[in-house]
Copies of this chain bind each other. A is one copy, B any other.
Amino acid sequence: MAKNWKSKLHEIIYEADTRAGKLFDVVLLVLILASIALVMLESVDDFAGKHSDFLVTAEWIITILFTLEYFARIISIRKPSQYIFSFYGIIDFLSTIPMYLSFFIVGSQSLIALRALRLMRIFRILKLARYIGESNNIMRALKASRIKIGVFIMFILILCTILGSVMYLIESDKESGFTSIPRSIYWAIVTLTTVGYGDIAPHTPLGQFIASIIMILGYGIIAVPTGIVTAEFATMDKDEIHLNTQSCPSCATEGHHDKAEYCYDCGEILNPEETD
Please measure, in the bound complex, the distance between the C-alpha atom of A198 and the C-alpha atom of B195, giving whole angstroms: 9
- Whether A232 lies near B222 (C-beta < 8 A) is no
Known contacts A138-B152, A161-B122, A194 near B197 by CB under 8 Å: no
Residues of chain A from 118 to 162 with CB closer than 8 A to chain B in the complex: 119, 122-123, 125-126, 128-129, 132-135, 137-138, 141-142, 147-149, 151-158, 161-162
- Whether A225 lies near B223 (C-beta < 8 A) is yes
Please measure, in the bound complex, the distance between the C-alpha atom of A189 and the C-alpha atom of B230, giving whole angstroms: 23
- Whether B233 lies near A211 (C-beta < 8 A) is no
Tell me the interface secondary structure of chain A in the complex. helix
> What is the count of identical protomers in the complex?
4
- Whether A142 lies near B39 (C-beta < 8 A) is no
Closest-by-CB residue of B relative to A128 is B158
Known contacts A122-B161, A151-B133, A218 near B231 by CB under 8 Å: no
Please measure, in the bound complex, the distance between the C-alpha atom of A40 and the C-alpha atom of B215, giving whole angstroms: 21
Please measure, in the bound complex, the distance between the C-alpha atom of A229 and the C-alpha atom of B224, giving whole angstroms: 7
Cβ-based interface call for A20 (8 A): no
Please measure, in the bound complex, the distance between the C-alpha atom of A227 and the C-alpha atom of B156, giving whole angstroms: 20
- Whether B220 lies near A119 (C-beta < 8 A) is no
Q: Which of B169, B199, B212, B220 contacts A198 (CB 8 A)?
A: B199
Q: Which of B147, B169, B209 contacts A116 (CB 8 A)?
A: B169
Cβ-based interface call for A18 (8 A): no
The interface bits of chain A over 175-187 (1 if a CB of B lies within 8 angstroms of the residue's CB, else 0) are: 0000111110110
